[in-house]
Amino acid sequence: MGKALDGVRILDMTHVQSGPTCTQILAWFGADVIKVERPGSGDITRNQLRDVADADSLYFTMLNANKRSITLNPKTDAGKEIFTKLIEECDVMVENFGPGAIDRMGFPWEKIQEINPRLIYASIKGFGPGPYDDCKVYENVAQCTGGAASTTGQIGGVPMVTGAQIGDSGTGLHLVAGILAALFQREASGKGQRVTCAMQDSVLNLCRVKLRDQQRLAHGPLTEYPQYPNGEFGDAVPRAGNASGGGQPGWIVKCKGWETDPDAYIYIIAQAQAFSGLAEAIGRADWLDDSEWNTPGARLPKLAEMFEEIEKWTMTKDKMEAMGILNPLNVPCGPILSMGELAQEESLRQTGTVVEVDHPERGKYLTIGNPIKLSDSPAEVERSPLLGEHTEEILTDVVGLDPEGIERAREQGAI
């Protein structure tokens, strides 16, 4: 069976993480992704945080699966001609360079539209139009400027960034949605369009519930936050430790072995519907007849005390055991799984979410496969390309150069 994006060709001018996340997903959906890299050096992440000498880093290999690589410098004369032909032959161009970089290569949007009116031109920048649109942005900058850092961290502690790459990979995912929508609209309109995602906007979108809480603050304290009822609320949404972002109280509690295992914890949500089962499981069935405890409203001012009681019980169980008891009681809970545990998790291997890939330079490595599962378009993960591995193939098959043309481009340093 074919793939969802069979026949779609992507001109991939992305680097580092945000853009490559987007084009890797498009490649998993079946698009032919042509990654354009600077001759000689390529994507800077090829040699960042290297664990194996002289082999492409995991940073690169885990973000560039299923792509073809061509080296090309569009700033040279021959490079401009080749780049123009690639724009003609592709359906989508994706880039995440610093502001204005593609324009400075001599390819502003107006010119791109002239070359190929059907091309969808998708970009990631740190900020949208406004006072900061010239700034370069990395993951943690986006987390700070998009509202995530100010609302993450311990109460009274410093702002905190999260390990989830919500700025980079999060924005890449947003861009995928924009590109697919534009491809769909092109079916009717016949025209390409500009798709842009700012990292600040994407992070803010992921922090939507915190902007909700900002507005609720005007009408009184946020009663589900640990600061309630004894702490102070200022003018902005405060950090709330591990409190649940939703309407049901939640917290991380210790499990057996926490003294030596940094991940011996479980997140428990004391959802009202399942509270009786939870109370009975932890040996506090008395709460169910006690008006001080048997309604969500009564528990609200003493959530810390409630989770201390729950923790007394979880500390007698290991995290998987606690999950095994609570799940059948419909108590939403999640053991803290370490990267070591996730790497070994058999069910993730079975679904292709964690995949082992073989690479000619580095040997076998683990990567995350496509987390978006399409029943008629399953993704098979192929190793990332070596720098310029497909240059001649692409110049011949897509650009239509003959061996002399390729040689000329090489002499000019264009490839």
Q: Segment near ligand CAO (CB under 6 A), from 92-100, 185-193, 237-245, 365-373?
A: 92-100
| 3-state SS assignment for residue 232 | coil
Beta 363-368 vs 354-359: how paired, if at all? antiparallel
Cα(364)–Cα(341) distance, integer angstroms: 18
Name residue 326's amino acid.
L
Spell out, one character per residue from 214 to 243, where the chain touches ligand CAO: x when CB under 6 A holds, - when not: ------------------------------
**Measured from the CB atom, is 16 or 33 closer to ligand CAO?**
16
Task: Tell me if 138 contacts ligand CAO by CB under 6 A.
Answer: yes
Residue among 16, 175, 303, 357 that touches ligand CAO (CB under 6 A): 16
Assess whether 168 carries a catalytic annotation: yes
Q: Which is nearer to ligand CAO, 105 or 368 (CB)?
A: 105
Both structure tokens of 61 = 């290999």
Residues 143-182 as x/- pattern, contact with ligand CAO by CB under 6 A: -------------------------x--------------
Would you count residue 87 as binding ligand CAO (CB under 6 A)? no
Q: Sketch the per residue contact string, 38 through 67, with ligand CAO: x for CB under 6 A, - otherwise.
A: x-----------------------------
Q: Pick between residue 329 and residue 386 the one whose CB is nearest to ligand CAO.
A: 386
**How many CB atoms are located within 10 Å of the residue 360 CB?**
10
Q: How many C-beta neighbours within 10 Å does residue 133 have?
A: 13
Query: What are the CA-CA distances from residue 318 to residues 92, 188, 324 (Å)?
Result: 50, 56, 10
Burial class, 129, CB count within 10 angstroms (exposed 0-12 / middle 13-18 / buried 19+): exposed
Does an H or E element contain 106, and which? none
Smallest distance, Å, CB 44 to ligand CAO? Answer: 6
Give the C-alpha separation, 221 to 237, whole Å. 10
Residue type at 404? E
Q: Which residues are catalytic?
A: 168
What is the contact surface with ligand CAO in residues (CB under 6 A)? Answer: 16-19, 36-38, 72-73, 75, 96-98, 101, 104-105, 124-126, 136-139, 168
